[in-house]
């Protein structure tokens, strides 16, 4: 295999999947599922071999259709983009295994559209990660976004409304981005990021450049659900089907965050951003507010999926704080948190999906301690993921906070440090609220009237105190457990990840 073709192969696998699924699915619905799995597995394989190649031999630059950059479109596989591709495709693979039963259960008539849209979404997201061209990024962004809107719309009754809101705001974000790119193009005459990077230092006083960069950051910030532009996210995640949420929540916002990384640290001189434009700081402080705001709103939620969605607003804030620090430690913390949060959130949304699958709802107020009897493994997975979200060692979540906290201390930024630490407590507040109900809240006692015979249905309800095990099926449970255990592994292996994967991607000038 020609390793130089890897960047395009990652995207093409998904695109072919998207084409094949409706065709094959016409004959048998099952085939659509299998095709999606194969396409993702292939892409995962390409991503991993790409990552290994990049780490040993350096970046790969792929010229689409042989046109030389900066005129042609360039796909770049460097440590950062390869890492993100592995993350996206890896998580997607696990989510797809989980989706098998879930989609059949929740939206049985829309399985084919679910898998097709998934493939399109992934093609778009991987394209956004790989491309080195600003306009091409917009194209992929729209592919991913349109697929995302449609995925959200496959959900319960309120999903179309949430999807429409997502669409409106998402389009505004994309438009901002496009406008920003136009300004940059007018000023620099190039759309290639590497090229722009070389030209920009000469144009730093230009108003057009400043406006362009601001617009780009605004647009991407909206896509990333950066406070205060997060309004579309909670509803979209809460009312989409469980499988769609499990797919969108872990990776959707991460890719937008990645674009912000690309633009801020690889396209613009970070010193310029830091000292003259202060965009990095603004992003950081918005993230910090988002961390607190998202956590506080998450405490108020009564529905598990909504709570998790608001918690995502907070978690994206961590990544923004890492960007705001604009230092190696902040970079490490942000990237590590993107990885950790993807695993944690996927795991938690798996749990909420499993609950809907078996119990029929995921409302926090209706939970009680029968769950620890009926679904002991799912509950245990939730506890482990929650501990990681709170950020207690030795789980993965602790370490991303650790690097961010070290970064904040290094710059004597006590506000960021305070926010990081306070948010730990806020996270604990909403996760322990759920854990307490899952494990401790007594089941409602339905008093059986004494004169009723024991065969009465009411009596059966009382008997649920001795509920039998009713665990989610293996294809749902195993991905959940795998991800929750991976949190321990990621936590213990974080030093390896940082030194071998993240340190090589930090640009020299940072």
Residue 76's DSSP bridge partners are 61
Nearer to other proteins, 56 or 412 (CB): 412
- Asked if 328 is part of the footprint of other proteins (rule: CB under 8 A), the reply reads no
Site stretch for other proteins (CB under 8 A), options 21-29, 118-126, 240-248, 395-403: 395-403
Q: What is the DSSP string of 491-506?
A: HHTHHHHIIIIIGGGS
CB-based contact 308:249 (threshold 8 Å): yes
Residues 406-445 that bind other proteins (CB under 8 A): 406, 409-410, 417, 421-422, 424-425, 428, 432, 436, 440, 442
- Distance between CA atoms of 490 and 338, rounded to whole angstroms? 12
Judged by CB under 8 A, the number of residues near other proteins is: 31
Nearer to other proteins, 59 or 437 (CB): 437
**Least distance (Å) from other proteins to the CB of residue 370?**
14
For the chain, the 3-state helix, strand and coil shares in percent, each to the nearest 5, are: 80, 5, 15
- Asked if 377 is part of the footprint of other proteins (rule: CB under 8 A), the reply reads no
CB-based contact 321:291 (threshold 8 Å): yes
Joined together, the tokens standing for residue 85 give 């591709």
- Asked if 161 is part of the footprint of other proteins (rule: CB under 8 A), the reply reads no
Among 405, 483, 487, 501, binds other proteins (CB under 8 A): 405
- Distance between CA atoms of 49 and 382, rounded to whole angstroms? 32
Per DSSP, 275 falls in state I
Q: Which residues contact 166 (CB under 8 A, 6 or more apart)?
A: 148, 149, 152, 232, 233, 235, 236
Nearer to other proteins, 131 or 374 (CB): 374
- Asked if 498 is part of the footprint of other proteins (rule: CB under 8 A), the reply reads yes
Q: What is the DSSP string of 207-254?
A: HHHHHHHHHHHHHHHHHHT-TTS-THHHHHHHHB-HHHHHHHHHHHHH
**Least distance (Å) from other proteins to the CB of residue 37?**
32
- Asked if 447 is part of the footprint of other proteins (rule: CB under 8 A), the reply reads no
Site stretch for other proteins (CB under 8 A), options 14-22, 255-263, 291-299, 386-394: 386-394
Site stretch for other proteins (CB under 8 A), options 25-33, 394-402, 453-461, 463-471: 394-402
Among 141, 143, 145, 387, binds other proteins (CB under 8 A): 387
Nearer to other proteins, 64 or 429 (CB): 429
To which residue do tokens 């997607």 refer? 92
Nearer to other proteins, 76 or 387 (CB): 387
**Least distance (Å) from other proteins to the CB of residue 442?**
8
Per DSSP, 137 falls in state H
- Distance between CA atoms of 104 and 244, rounded to whole angstroms? 13
**Least distance (Å) from other proteins to the CB of residue 494?**
7
**Least distance (Å) from other proteins to the CB of residue 304?**
20
Q: What is the DSSP string of 11-72?
A: HHHHHHHHHHHHHHHHH-HHHHHHHHHHHHHHHHHHHHHHHHHHHHH--EEEEGGGPPTTTS
- Asked if 93 is part of the footprint of other proteins (rule: CB under 8 A), the reply reads no
Bridging pattern class, strands 60-63 and 74-77: antiparallel
Residues 181-200 that bind other proteins (CB under 8 A): none
Joined together, the tokens standing for residue 475 give 């294809």
Nearer to other proteins, 300 or 440 (CB): 440
Among 140, 403, 416, 430, binds other proteins (CB under 8 A): 403
**Least distance (Å) from other proteins to the CB of residue 323?**
20
Residues 475-494 that bind other proteins (CB under 8 A): 492, 494
Residues that bind other proteins (CB under 8 A): 387, 390, 392-394, 398-399, 401-403, 405-406, 409-410, 417, 421-422, 424-425, 428, 432, 436, 440, 442, 492, 494-496, 498-499, 503
């Amino acid at each position: 295999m020609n390793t130089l073709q890897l960047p395009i192969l990652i995207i093409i696998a998904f695109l072919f999947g998207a084409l094949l699924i409706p065709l094959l699915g016409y004959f048998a619905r099952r085939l659509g599922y299998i095709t999606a799995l194969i396409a993702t597995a292939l892409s995962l394989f390409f991503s991993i071999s790409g990552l290994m190649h990049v780490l040993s031999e350096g970046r790969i630059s792929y010229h689409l259709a042989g046109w030389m950059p900066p005129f042609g479109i360039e796909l770049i596989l460097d440590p950062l983009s390869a890492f993100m591709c592995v993350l996206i495709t890896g998580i997607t693979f696990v989510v797809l295994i989980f989706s098998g039963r879930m989609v059949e259960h929740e939206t049985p008539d829309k399985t084919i559209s679910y898998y097709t849209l998934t493939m399109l979404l992934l093609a778009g997201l991987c394209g956004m990660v790989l491309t080195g061209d600003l306009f091409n990024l917009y194209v992929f962004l729209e592919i991913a976004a349109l697929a995302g809107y449609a995925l959200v719309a496959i959900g319960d009754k309120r999903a179309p409304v949430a999807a429409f809101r997502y669409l409106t705001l998402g389009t505004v974000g994309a438009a901002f981005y496009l406008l920003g790119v136009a300004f940059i193009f007018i000023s620099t005459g190039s759309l290639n990021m590497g090229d722009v990077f070389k030209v920009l230092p000469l144009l730093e006083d230009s108003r057009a450049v400043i406006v362009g960069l601001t617009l780009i950051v605004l647009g991407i910030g909206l896509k990333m659900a950066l406070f205060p532009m997060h309004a579309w996210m909670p509803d979209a995640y809460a009312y989409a089907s469980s499988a769609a949420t499990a797919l969108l929540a872990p990776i959707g916002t991460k890719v937008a965050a990645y674009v912000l990384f690309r633009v801020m640290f690889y396209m613009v001189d970070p010193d310029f951003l830091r000292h003259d434009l202060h965009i990095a700081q603004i992003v950081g402080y918005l993230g910090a507010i988002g961390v607190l705001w998202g956590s506080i709103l998450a405490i108020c939620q009564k529905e598990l999926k909504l709570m998790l969605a608001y918690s995502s607003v907070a978690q994206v804030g961590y990544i923004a704080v890492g960007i705001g620090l604009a230092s190696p430690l902040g970079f490490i913390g942000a990237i590590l948190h993107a990885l950790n949060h993807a695993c944690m959130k996927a795991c938690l949304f798996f749990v909420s999906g499993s609950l809907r699958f078996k119990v029929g709802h995921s409302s926090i107020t209706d939970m009680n301690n029968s769950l620890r009897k009926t679904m002991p493994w799912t509950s245990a997975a939730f506890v482990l993921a929650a501990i990681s979200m709170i950020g207690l060692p030795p789980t993965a979540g602790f370490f991303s906070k650790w690097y961010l906290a070290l970064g904040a201390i290094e710059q004597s930024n006590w506000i960021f440090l305070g926010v990081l630490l306070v948010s730990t407590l806020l996270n604990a507040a909403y996760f322990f609220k759920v854990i307490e109900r899952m494990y401790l809240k007594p089941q409602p006692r339905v008093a059986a009237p004494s004169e009723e015979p024991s065969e009465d249905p009411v009596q059966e309800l009382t008997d649920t105190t001795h509920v039998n095990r009713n665990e989610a099926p293996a294809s749902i449970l195993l991905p959940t457990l795998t991800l929750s255990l991976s949190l321990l592994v990621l936590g213990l292996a974080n030093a390896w990840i940082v030194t071998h994967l993240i340190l090589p991607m930090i640009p020299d000038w940072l």
